[in-house]
Amino acid sequence: MSRAITAAVLRHPEQPFRLEELRLPEPAEDQILVRVVASGMCHTDLMPRQPGSFVRPPIVVGHEGAGVVETIGPGVTDVAVGDHVVLSFDSCGACQNCRDGHPAYCRTFWRRNMGGQARNGRAPATDAHGLPVAVRWFGQSSFATHALASPRNAVTVDPTLPLHLLGPLGCSVQTGAGSIITALAVTLGDTVAVFGTGSVGLAAVMAARAVGAVTIVAVDAQPKRLELARELGATHTVSSGTEDVRRALKRIAPEGLDAALDTTGVAEVVDAALGALRLRGRCGLVGTPRGPLELSPTAVSLGRSVHGILQGDAVPHQFIPQLIELWRQGRLPFDRLLTEYALEDINEAERAMRAGEVIKPVLRPAA
């Protein structure tokens, strides 16, 4: 048995997304079928466009989905038909890191999330010609009217919440906020700098304010992003396009920062972030560095540490409800980052995101 769905399919790295009708099987024993209400677009979703990427089209991407459960597999007990869910990354739940509360470092993370294939290596969807299309990107492939997921990566939420806003909680907001709150353990009275003010960086700024950091520095080259960072909680901003970042940070925090978070992946920025730390300060890196990471001799001396972070080191079933509560209290207004597009306008959403015209596009399939 299978059903017809509409999905934005990427056929070639250099071609636009194209809406197509696919056939998607009914959920297997440990799966659920979710009608997608909205899905955030993230730069990670553009990985299949990168030269030499291990992700092979044709594929449906999208990994910040939110929707309503329509069907469950016969072995599913934790999720029910009609539940409202936010979809996050997939994990096994059984390996040592999952058992220790670090599912983003699941032993099977890459196989489950980054290839778009089902765990048996096959693509569970087929196109009009009966040919396979990968639809398990981050355990969901939510740039579609429907997505197959599992109870492991589906977080049930209050059905009275505005579901169309919640998708970005599954990745970008979770990554930025989790990096501050969980991975770097920023707390009341700390000083922190965030390098890069995209959706992850701005979520980090909001989280730093929410936990009571006394100094929050946002660093970016775009004046409008820095202005928004101020509105969302930054106490200081540094324009990397017009200022000497190292000197500016030294002026703001003469004794050094407690923590820094880099969202850019630029080696020179990472080095500057490390250099701005106090003794035993900690620096978190999200995203993959763009080339070799060369650091100055003193960057990691004096007790400073570098921490690579995936998904904010969060446990989605625990952390996403916390983020929702902060949002309800007005302390994490992530909805200010969102711009909605119809799913059929996905290529315009991608263009606007690449151009920096919008921070977080959210795609909404036709009802």
pLDDT the model gives residue 119: 57
Angle, helices 199-210/223-232, rounded to nearest 10 degrees: 30
Q: Is the pLDDT of residue 121 over 60?
A: no
Which candidate, 275, 284, 327, 322, places its Cα nearest to that of 302? 275
Buried b or exposed e, range 4-25, using 16+ CB within 10 angstroms: ebbbbbbeebeeebebbebbbb
Instruction: Calculate mean pLDDT across residues 19-41.
Output: 95
pLDDT band at residue 63 using 50, 70 and 90 as cut-offs: very high
Instruction: Calculate mean pLDDT across residues 286-300.
Output: 79
In a 10 Å sphere around its CB, with 0-12 CB exposed, 13-18 middle and 19+ buried, how is residue 215 labelled? middle
Per-residue pLDDT reduced to its tens digit, 236-273: 999 999 999 999 999 999 999 999 999 999 989 999 99
- Chain centroid offset of residue 214 CA: 26
Measured between alpha carbons, how far is 167 from 163 in angstroms, rounded to an integer?
8
Q: Is the pLDDT of residue 123 over 60?
A: no
Instruction: Calculate mean pLDDT across residues 2-15.
Output: 95
Per-residue pLDDT reduced to its tens digit, 128-154: 999 999 999 999 999 999 999 999 999
pLDDT the model gives residue 300: 79
pLDDT the model gives residue 297: 79
* pLDDT > 70 fraction of the chain, expressed in percent and rounded: 98
pLDDT the model gives residue 118: 64
pTM: 0.95
* pLDDT > 90 fraction of the chain, expressed in percent and rounded: 87
- 67: number of Cβ within 10 Å: 30
pLDDT the model gives residue 335: 98
As annotated, the residues of the chain forming the CATH 3.40.50.720 domain(s) are 175-311
Question: Does domain 2-170+333-364 sit in CATH 3.30.70.3270?
Answer: no
Matching CATH number, 175-311, of 3.40.50.720, 3.40.50.2000, 3.40.1130.10, 3.90.110.10: 3.40.50.720
In the block, which residue shows the tokens 């009802």? 367
Beta strands in the chain (DSSP E): 2-9, 18-25, 32-40, 65-72, 84-87, 125-126, 132-133, 146-149, 154-157, 191-195, 215-220, 236-239, 257-262, 277-286, 305-309, 338-342, 360-364
Q: What is the dihedral of CA 307, 238, 168, 363, to 10 degrees?
A: -140
Per-residue pLDDT reduced to its tens digit, 348-361: 999 999 999 999 99
- 223: number of Cβ within 10 Å: 12
Q: Is the pLDDT of residue 291 over 90?
A: no
Per-residue pLDDT reduced to its tens digit, 155-186: 999 999 999 999 999 999 999 999 999 999 99
As annotated, the residues of the chain forming the CATH 3.90.180.10 domain(s) are 2-170+333-364
Measured between alpha carbons, how far is 53 from 9 in angstroms, rounded to an integer?
17
Instruction: Calculate mean pLDDT across residues 201-216.
Output: 98
Q: Are 49 and 108 in contact (CB under 8 A)?
A: no
pLDDT the model gives residue 288: 75
pLDDT the model gives residue 54: 79
pLDDT the model gives residue 217: 98
Structure tokens at 25: 């099987």
pLDDT the model gives residue 360: 98
pLDDT the model gives residue 259: 98
Measured between alpha carbons, how far is 260 from 284 in angstroms, rounded to an integer?
6
pLDDT the model gives residue 294: 81
pLDDT the model gives residue 214: 98
In the block, which residue shows the tokens 């009608």? 35
Instruction: Calculate mean pLDDT across residues 102-125.
Output: 80
Q: Is the pLDDT of residue 318 over 70?
A: yes
